[in-house]
Every structure is written in C-alpha cells, then in structure tokens.
Structure 1
Amino acid sequence: MRKCLSALLAALAFIPGCAPEGTGDLDVQWTVGLTGSCAQANLGFVAARLETLSGTLLARRDAPCDAHAVRFRDLPVGSYRVRLSAFDGDGVEAYAATVSDLSVQEGIEAASCLARLTPRPGTISLSWYFQGGRLCSAYGVEDVLLSLFSADIEILAQSFRCDRGAAVLEGLLPGSYEVRLDAVDAWGVPSHSFAAGNLLLRPGHELSFDAELTPCQGPCW
C-alpha cells in the first residue's frame, strides 16, 4: 500500500495542477551497530542528506552522533531518501546507512524513521620491494602471490605481476588481518617472502604499508 501511494504521488507531481499540496516534517533517528554506542564506535557527528528518490540532494543536517536524531522541516508532500554518514575522530566516514521510500504527508505529526548505522568497509594497500630495490628481474621474480588471513583462515589469495609493485585490497570488513607475500619465478618457485600480522583495519579507513621481500631461509612455504 505504501509503495502504491508513493508511486501515485510521484506521478501526480508531473501533472500540471495535480501536484500534492502542503508540507510536513521528517524525523530521522539512528542507532549504532549492535550496541547503539557512538562513543564505543568512536563516532563524532552524523551528516544526514535528504534526497529525492532519483538521487537529487535537497538538504543536509549535521548533528552530534549521540543526539541520535535530526529533523527536516517544511518538506513538500512526497517521497524521499535519507543517507546517513557517521564520521569518526579522524574525520573519516566510518559508519553509514540509507533509508529509502520515506513518505512525508501534510499534518501535525512528523513522519519518522529509524536507521541502523553499520561499519563501512576498509582498504588495505601495500607496495613491495627487495633489499636492493624494486627491480624484480634482478632477483628472477615474475609474480608476487598475496594471501590475506583473518583468524588464521585464508580469505583471499591473488597473484600480481611483480613489476606492478603494489596491490590494493578494497571492500574489506573491519577487523584484524595477516598478510603474506611470496615472490616466485617463472616456474612458480618462491625465493623471497614477507609476512605481517595484527593489522587492524578500522571501519572506513585505509591501511597502507611497505613490504620488504627478503630471501627465504630454507623453503618459503
């Protein structure tokens, strides 16, 4: 029923003399993850963006995260979408939420919605080099095999041309990771490696580091 009403209002807006009249208010409330705690998630403020259903930005309201609500006033009757961005102490958009198909109707009571802010994915970017520089051919290396672990479980394995010199892993859930690199020759035989653990990826952040590929002491595997 709600979707039918929204579609009807949208259609009437394009018929001269038939656009819905009047205005109303919209209350947007939020909670944070499982605990609901802004402090625990290190969130400072929330930016609420009001859009049309087609994505046109109409208004923005900022509020402290622990206010847990903003109000958009005197909105024309119709359907809207709200995008919430929660920023941490470093100014990074760490949590987010989107609520669509919010119907504002004329009247005293404001329309309301409750959104749950969830952690945004992060990125791990790394570059590699050898003790004597970055020239892979000088070490007989063709490819670099990258393995990403979480809780000792391999969640990603990917091969890169060594001359590329870097890799970017996007869309990763926040948490603790371990990374292993193995430099191999044209026959897939490893000669150099790198390993790092306890890499803490925070929501919405990018974790960057350089990896020094060192000669294997015995078998690389």
Structure 2
Amino acid sequence: MNKILLVEDESSIRGFLRINFERNGFKVLEAESGEEGLRIAAIEKPDVAILDVMLPGIDGFKVCEELRKIFPAIGIMMLTARGQDMDKIMGLEYGADDYVIKPFNPIEVTLRVKALLRRLDEKDEEINEELIESPPFKIDTYAQKLFKNNIEIDVTPKEYMLMKIFIENPGKAFSRDELLNLAWGYNFVGDPKIVDVNIRRLRSKVEENASEPKYIETIWGTGYRWRK
C-alpha cells in the first residue's frame, strides 16, 4: 500500500483529499505544518508528499527541499492557491515533481499522483537495469563505476572491465586468454601477463587481504574465477 503524506493547514482540503486517496487504496498521513510533516515523513517514509506552498512555520518550498535531501526517490507535488508562474518555478527548482493550482478536483489530484508513482517505478526499473550487484560489490554500468559497501573504488578502465566480467559470471572459470580477449580485445598485441598484473592490482583494491583473496580466485593452470 502506497503512503501519501498530506501537508496542508486547511482541514477541509485534507479531508476531501484523504477520502479520495483512501478510496483508491492509499494510506493517508496528515500534517498541519511543515515541521509536523517532516517529523511524520522521517517516521513513516511516505511514497509521495503533497505540500501546500503556504504553511504555518516553514513553507512548502522548504519542506520540499528538506524531503528531497532525505528521500531522493520520494514523489513530491506542490499545491498553490495563487497559480503564479513563480510558485511553479520555485517548486520545481526545490525538487518538486508536479504542482496543482487551487481550486482543484481531488479526482484529478489522485490520477496525477498515480501517474507520478508510475513514473517513479519506471525510473527505479531503469536504475536497477544499470546496476549489477554481487554483495558487497555493485557496478554502475551507466557511470562505469565500482562500489564496495556503497563506497566507490577507484579502478582503471581495464580493472572495471574485469570486475564486470567476473560479477556477471559468478563461478565461471576464465582462462587468461579469455579474459585478455574480453577485456583487451581480440586484436590485442602485447604480453598476455598483463592479465595477471591487472588481477593483482584489482585484488589490492577489492580484497580485504590480497594475498588471501576470497573474491577473485586463482584456478591453477587455467586462470581466474569470481567466487559465488
């Protein structure tokens, strides 16, 4: 069940929005001020926040900015009574995904929230497709970066290629020639021992103890294997 956080100081607006969201299967959380909204968000971790621009205490823009820092993936919709372009622009600059001008139809708001959630789900799928994981390691194929325990490891392009080959093929034994062809290309002209040199460097970066590797195993007489 998706959670919706309504941060609106007018109880009548919260009321008819709550009724429509609950009818559509959402769990609704309510707050009358920005401070209260941030407190509830920290506890409940909502999927979408709907924020009135004009709130007692800190305004909706500040709440939007703080929520975006804490929950980068949250969906945020702003409510504005004025309909001025500056409100719309400021909301988007602070990290809002959408905005609605008062007065509005609560059914339209519900439909727009559903559309926002679909966009967020599609975005998550795209991000997941760009990540290859073998805990504690993670490869971001879009940025071509390697992480261990969510901390980036500085690797060369060839070291990155070797890690990608290993993590995509756990348990598979690769000969030195196979790794050479896959990472350096079939037209590579040079000493095949370059594979061993790069494996040693890579182990020094990814293993807790490079002399006793537990991730990149040596297959004597053959090559190397990524331990499942």
TM-score, normalised with respect to structure 1: 0.27
Q: Which has the higher contact order (CA 8 A, sep 6+)?
A: 1
Structure richer in helix, relative to its length: 2
TM-score, normalised with respect to structure 2: 0.26
